[in-house]
Structure formats: structure tokens, C-alpha cells
Amino acid sequence: MPSTEQTLKSYRWVASRWPERHRCPGAAFSTHQTLAAMSDPEERWTAIKTPPLDERTGRRRWTPETSRQRVGYHGPGPETVQEKIEAVHDLVGDEQVATQVATDLLRRPSVAFKAMTDDTARHQVNHAQVEQPRQIRAAQERELSGTEDPFGPTVRRLNHTLEFLDLVGACQRFVAATGRIVPSLGERRFSEDERNTVHRNIDRVRATCEWITTAVDTGEVDVDEELSKLLLGE
């Protein structure tokens, strides 16, 4: 593993090969680092602005492999964490492949735990958990509405009851958890950052409650852009 001094020397060398006006904001540092090996400055500065065509996506972009190929280096695969991440993204561009890989990785307890510390990832998982059964029920109702199945109305009433119970249960769990946690906070002192974090999350709770009220009273369940950003913690 390179020392801190060696790493700093490497960064300085890369920076010296790339005057600020010739750097490409859309290209990763690893790409600049690899293409820095090109001896001709003009060729180097022109090359980074003309990434190769990715036949899979139809877009022009640099990857660790294509940048190595550009300088004629065909050594071992990705080495840094960022290079490995980029390589994985290249391999899981297909939705079916990405789904299977994500499913396999989330079966690792440590991976699932760390993934759920990301607000956006956690929100997407929660949204999928709610959306999947909703879509299944909607598909069942559409199928039943096009038939003369005598059980159709009964199935729709059952689905409605399940959704009602899920919603009431979610509210009860939140109230119960709050009632358990808040009384223990009396003797604690929170930092400004901690208070700000709690306040931001309370704003999300308020927005969610208003969303629930609107859905129950009007049947309108669409999420506008501002509410979506708030729910995502943006």
C-alpha cells in the first residue's frame, strides 16, 4: 500500500499534467491519472475530451479499462476502490443483471446494514416494499374488473381492508416507538448538528402525515417535486 507521501506525490504529478483549464469535470480522477501517462500534452488534453463510444449504452464515456487501452496499457484490472466501483457499474448496466447482483449483495448482513445508512437507498427500498404489493393488488383488480368473477368485489374489499390495516399499523408503530424513546431523552443534551438532524426528520414526518391525510381525504396519492425531495432528505 503506498504511503501518504507517495500518494501526495502522485496527486501532485497528476495535477501538473493537467492544468485546470484542460481538466474534464465529467471524467473521474482515475481517468486523468491514467491518461497523464500520454507524453504529448496536446494529445492528452484532446483525448480526454473525446471519450470512446460505449456500445452497450450508446454514450461516449471513459472507464478504467478504456483509459488504459488509450495509453496502450493492458495490465491488471481495476485497482482503486473508485475504479472497482466504476467497473462494477459497467458490468451491471443491464437491469436484470443489476437486480440479481443487488439481491445477492443485500443478503450479506453487513452490506445491507451499510446500504441502509444511505437515505436515498433506504427510501427506495421502503418505497419498493409499499409499491410492489400495491401494483400486485391493482393488477388483480384490473383482471377481475374485466371478468364476471363473483369474488371480484370481495377481493377488492379485502385489499382495501389490508391497506387500511397496514396504514393504521404504520401509524401505531411510529407512535409506540416515539412513546418509548422520547421519555428517555430528558437528561440528554444534543449537539447543534444532532438537533438539526432531528428537526429535518421531523419535517419529513410532518410532510408524510400531510400526504397520508390528503390520500385518505381525497384519494390523491401523487407526490410533487418538493415533497419527493423532502421525503428523500434532500
DSSP states of 209-222: HHHHHHHHHH----
Per-residue pLDDT for 75 more than 60?
A: no
**What mean pLDDT comes out for the span 134-150?**
63
- Interatomic CA distance for residues 128 and 101, integer angstroms: 17
**What mean pLDDT comes out for the span 222-232?**
67
Q: For residue 3, what pLDDT band results from cuts at 50, 70 and 90? A: low
DSSP, collapsed to helix, strand or coil, labels residue 155 as helix
Q: Residue 2: what pLDDT?
A: 54
Q: Can you say whether the dihedral through the CA atoms of 111, 117, 123, 129 is positive or negative? A: positive
Q: Residue 227: what pLDDT?
A: 66
Pick left, alpha or beta for residue 159 (phi over 0 → left; psi -120 to 50 → alpha; otherwise beta): alpha
Per-residue pLDDT for 185 more than 80?
A: yes
Q: Residue 124: what pLDDT?
A: 78
Q: Residue 119: what pLDDT?
A: 77
Which three cell numbers, joined as nine digits, stand for 156?
377488492
Whether the CB-CB separation of 35 and 64 falls below 8 Å is answered with: no
Q: Residue 232: what pLDDT?
A: 64
